[in-house]
Amino acid sequence: MQKVFKTFLVIMGIFGFIIGAEESFITTLEYGKMLYTNPRGIGCVECHGRFGEGQQIANYTHKRKDLSLQGPRINNLSLKHFENALQKGKKIMPKYYLTANEIEAIYKYLESIETPQNTEE
């Protein structure tokens, strides 16, 4: 019986170590980067640029007028505005249904990256 109990303790210790390791598997910034580049099949980076500076998405013609679709700059928003934009969605912006933790991770990631001088307004 003692052998079974000792085996149980060893297994529980290993399980506890695995659970503890899983919590720190990636940092918040790594998670934010992962979400920014591919949150739900298409990444924020595709429309908002590598640094959140905004970028051109497409050129098109409508009623014989050449137009451009531009992803807005998002690296200058407060956390509150950032959350609101993601939760409400706008025009062509897909709704990603991100959790509060995911939104905060993306926001922190954008704050952490250095924006090259030539992309700032």
CATH number, domain with residue 84: 1.10.760.10
Q: Is residue 65 part of a domain?
A: yes
Q: Is residue 32 part of a domain?
A: yes
Query: Cα–Cα distance between 52 and 13 in angstroms, integer?
Result: 43
Q: Is residue 19 part of a domain?
A: no
Q: Is residue 18 part of a domain?
A: no
Q: Is residue 81 part of a domain?
A: yes
Question: Taking Cα atoms as reference points, which of 25, 21, 24, 26 lies closest to residue 109?
Answer: 26
Q: Is residue 6 part of a domain?
A: no
- Encode the chain (121 residues) as per-residue pLDDT tens digits: 666 555 554 565 565 555 554 556 889 999 999 999 986 667 899 999 999 999 999 999 999 999 999 999 999 999 999 998 888 767 788 777 889 999 999 999 999 987 766 544 4
Q: What is the pLDDT of residue 5?
A: 53
Amino acid, single-letter form, for residue 95: K
Q: What is the pTM of this model?
A: 0.70
CA distances from 22 to 17, 18, 19, 40 (A): 9, 6, 5, 22
Handedness of CA 29, 31, 37, 39 (dihedral sign): negative
Query: Cα–Cα distance between 35 and 48 in angstroms, integer?
Result: 13
Q: Is residue 15 part of a domain?
A: no
Structural domain for 57, as ranges = 27-119
User: Domains in the chain: how many in total?
Assistant: 1
Q: Is residue 2 part of a domain?
A: no
Amino acid, single-letter form, for residue 30: E
